[in-house]
Structure 1
């Protein structure tokens, strides 16, 4: 009985404890709407890649990404679409593509790269592809991009 006090969750009694959903604005779109929009983006990305517009395709997939709870299918669809772009890009083209992105799009790309690194063996995603993109993105966006991604609670 001496160690019983260690099993008490004291955070239940603390009024200042924040819940995960209180740390950022919730996604105003419903899960069905997010999934529908993500599938439309995937179609637009495929057509942009067919035309050879890699930076346009990347911009499409990085704008207004799905985040928050209850949208896992949309997140997976978005990640699959992004992986198809990352794998189809030549390493010599990456710096110019990254430079053409806005700061928000660069931050979202960094979030996706970290998500891909956390999911080994996911689809046809190669670690060398992710690290190559990470290197080029860090050269262009700087370390501030990494700090912004690590402190943002909205996960993709």
Structure 2
């Protein structure tokens, strides 16, 4: 019997091995509740965009963003809602909007920008929009925002 030793999971024999789900707390909401909350936020965002309240719309999307492995549908809907906000914002308004966000919201926005850039073909948003937001966010929040977004295990 031949066994390919490169395919053996040696961590199964180590009692002290750190599992992926032990690196961070998962979203405390169940997937259905997270999806309902995200749908309600999406409706509230449409209302905020109608009033040209971009800071309020971004705050709704970023403050209670779903994270973790079990809420994929809610995460995708939240990303689509964020892309709608990014596309409807004028480039001259971006620095003021970013300055009005809290530090945690800025970090979450950076995570979403990188998630949007990781989509094949950039999804529903053009690269210039994402890169413009990235540039303005980095100017306001500094490079520490990039480091925190890349090292945080709470994936959006």
Give unpaired runs (5+ residues) of structure 1.
none
For structure 1, which segment, 128-137 or 117-126, has the greater mean C-alpha deviation from structure 2 after superposition?
A: 117-126
TM-score (norm 2): 0.94
Q: Distance in 2 between matches of 1:113 and 1:101?
A: 15
CA contact (8 A) 2:116 2:123 kept: no
When you count helix as a share of all residues, which structure comes out higher? Answer: 2
Q: SS of the counterpart of 2:91? A: coil
Q: Distance in 2 between matches of 1:79 and 1:5?
A: 40
Give unpaired runs (5+ residues) of structure 2.
none
Q: CA deviation at 1:48?
A: 0.4
For structure 1, which segment, 108-117 or 18-27, has the greater mean C-alpha deviation from structure 2 after superposition?
A: 18-27
Q: SS of the counterpart of 1:93? A: helix
Cα distance, 1:6–1:32 mapped onto 2, change above 3 Å: closer
Q: CA deviation at 1:123?
A: 4.0
Q: Distance in 2 between matches of 1:76 and 1:7?
A: 33
Q: CA deviation at 1:25?
A: 1.0
Q: Distance in 1 between matches of 2:112 and 2:35?
A: 17
Q: Distance in 2 between matches of 1:115 and 1:57?
A: 19
